Amino acid sequence: MDNAVFTQLNLDDDCDPGHLIPLLQSIQFHEGYISEQAVRQIAHLLKISENHIYGVASFYSQFRFQKPGKHHLKVCLGTACHVQGGAQLAQEVEKQLHLRSGETTPDGAIDYEEVACLGCCAQAAVVEIDGAIYAKMTTDRLIKKLNELRSQQAVLSEAENAPLSAPASA
């Protein structure tokens, strides 16, 4: 983890444990998640146990302990979405991506989260992909969207691994 996060917070060696949550929020903002290394550094800085940090951080849903994927997938399991097939959508994600809620694909392409409500109850069942809401989702449409994400990721991977070509001469 980059020590710049600690430097930006302007913390000294005699830091108050009351800074724990703002420190976790800053790390989450800069790194995208709370790594084991970050927990060790916070424990040392605040002179508190790693268990205490995990206890506090795991209480709040905003904190994650796994590196997020390049794409973010959320399936709503609120009452309206559940009635309209949200649980089946969640099962399909698990089947297609071999993920449970809170996990990321091994290649780092997609992270998956089941949420209590996305606030779109009139459009249930709802799935969110990279911040875009997909209403009245069905398993067939979900499979299509997952395949599109996989195709996009394959194109990006190929582009990242492609040899660089020399610029055209003028």
- What's the pLDDT tens digit per position in 29-65? 888 899 999 999 999 889 999 999 999 998 887 888 8
- Identify whether residues 94 and 33 lie together within a single domain: no
Please state the separation of Cα 26 from the chain's center in Å: 16
Structure confidence at residue 168 as a pLDDT band (50, 70, 90): low
CATH number of the domain that residue 126 is part of: 3.40.30.10
**Do residues 95 and 54 make contact, with C-beta atoms less than 8 angstroms apart?**
no
Kindly state whether residues 119 and 75 are assigned to the same domain.
Answer: yes
Q: State the DSSP string of 92-154.
A: HHHHHH---TT-B-TTSSEEEEEES--S-GGG-S-EEETTEEE-S--HHHHHHHHHHHHHHHH
| Residue found by looking up tokens 């998640």 in the block | 33
Residue 140, in any domain of the structure: yes
Q: Examine residue 151 and state whether it is found in any structural domain, yes or no.
A: yes
Q: Answer whether residue 128 is part of any domain.
A: yes
Q: Kindly tell me if the per-residue pLDDT of 152 is higher than 60.
A: yes
159 has pLDDT over 60? no
Q: Are residues 142 and 103 in the same domain?
A: yes
Q: What is the rounded CA–CA span in Å between residue 93 and residue 3?
A: 36
Residues 150 and 112 placed together within one structural domain of the fold: yes
**What DSSP designation does 72 have?**
E
Tokens in use for 137? 């989702």
| Domain interval for residue 27 | 4-59
**pLDDT value at residue 115:** 92
Total domains, the chain: 2
**65 inside domain:** no
Does some domain include residue 22? yes
pLDDT of 53: 95
What was the pLDDT predicted at 135? 95
Query: Are both 82 and 154 inside the same structural domain?
Result: yes
Return the pLDDT at 156. 58
Q: Is 79 found in the same domain as 50?
A: no
Same domain, 15 and 36: yes
DSSP letter string, 7-20: HHTT--SS--GGGH
Within-domain flag for 77: yes
Q: Mean pLDDT across the chain, nearest whole number?
A: 85
pLDDT exceeds 70 at position 9: no
Task: Judge if 29 and 100 occupy the same domain.
Answer: no
Kindly indicate the confidence band of residue 12, based on its pLDDT and cuts at 50, 70 and 90. low
Per-residue model confidence as pLDDT tens digits over 87-137: 999 999 999 999 999 889 998 889 999 999 999 999 999 999 999 999 999
66 domain-assigned: no
Query: If DSSP codes are grouped into helix, strand and coil, which group holds residue 56?
Result: helix
Q: What pLDDT score was predicted for residue 37?
A: 92
> Same domain for 13 and 77?
no
Query: Are residues 79 and 55 located together in one domain of the fold?
Result: no
The pTM for the full model equals: 0.70
Residues 78 and 147 in one domain: yes
One domain, residues 47 and 89: no
Q: Are 22 and 16 in contact (CB under 8 A)?
A: no
**155, part of any domain:** yes
